């Protein structure tokens, strides 16, 4: 179906499932906000060690904790309480929130409008993914950013 010269199904191209689309997001990402990051006291949790890996791989990581509300800094970076409060553009928002908790962050994600949003392994919310995709934001669901970065991007950066 065509409306206003555009295929109304074009938003589906923003839901990334193919290796090449995912690889392109990973290769272009330099500035990543981590929504739901954990602090150093939770160093054994993926919400800490995945962002820690991203820092070691040379990415700028901006912490947006939702659990550790008394923490002012994670991985040596000042924390932000909302994505919209982060100055500048974001290439990627890595989401460590339960699927049912993501709707509470939709307005913040749409306000910030990063290039892409990545729902970590085990996290899937098709309704929110569609809303983001319709807003022109690329979405990856239910994949580990660290695993995919190691597989598709890390060797190409060095």
Answer yes or no: is 148 within a domain: yes
Which range (3-17, 89-103, 116-130, 143-157) has the least confidence? 3-17
Answer yes or no: is 10 within a domain: no
Domain tally, the chain: 1
Answer yes or no: is 6 within a domain: no
Answer yes or no: is 67 within a domain: yes
Answer yes or no: is 111 within a domain: yes
Query: For residue 122, what is the domain's CATH number?
Result: 3.40.50.720
Enter the pTM of the model: 0.92
| Per-residue pLDDT tens digits for 67-89 | 988 999 999 999 999 999 999 99
Answer yes or no: is 11 within a domain: no
| Per-residue pLDDT tens digits for 13-54 | 999 999 999 999 999 999 999 999 999 999 999 999 999 999
Supply the pLDDT for residue 95: 98
What 23-26 contacts at long range (C-beta under 8 Å, 24+ apart), as own/partner pairs, is 23/152, 23/153, 25/92, 25/115, 25/116, 25/118, 25/138, 25/140, 26/148, 26/149, 26/152, 26/153
Answer yes or no: is 3 within a domain: no
For residue 33, the 8-state DSSP code is: E
Range of the domain at 121: 19-157
Answer yes or no: is 1 within a domain: no
| Per-residue pLDDT tens digits for 103-130 | 999 999 999 999 999 999 999 999 999 9
């Amino acid at each position: 179906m065509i409306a206003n010269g555009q295929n109304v199904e074009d938003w589906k191209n923003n839901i990334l499932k193919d290796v090449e689309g995912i690889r392109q997001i990973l290769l272009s990402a330099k500035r990543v906000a981590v929504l739901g990051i954990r602090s150093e006291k939770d160093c054994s949790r993926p919400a800490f060690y995945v962002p820690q890996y991203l820092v070691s791989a040379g990415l700028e990581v901006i912490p947006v904790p939702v659990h550790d509300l008394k923490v002012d800094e994670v991985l040596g970076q000042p924390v932000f309480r909302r994505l919209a409060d982060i100055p500048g553009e974001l290439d990627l928002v890595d989401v460590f929130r339960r699927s049912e908790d993501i709707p509470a962050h939709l307005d913040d994600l749409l306000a910030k409008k990063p290039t892409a949003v990545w729902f970590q392994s085990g996290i899937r919310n098709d309704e929110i993914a569609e809303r983001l995709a319709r807003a022109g934001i690329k979405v990856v669901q239910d994949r580990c950013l660290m695993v995919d970065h190691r597989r598709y991007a890390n060797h190409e950066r060095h």
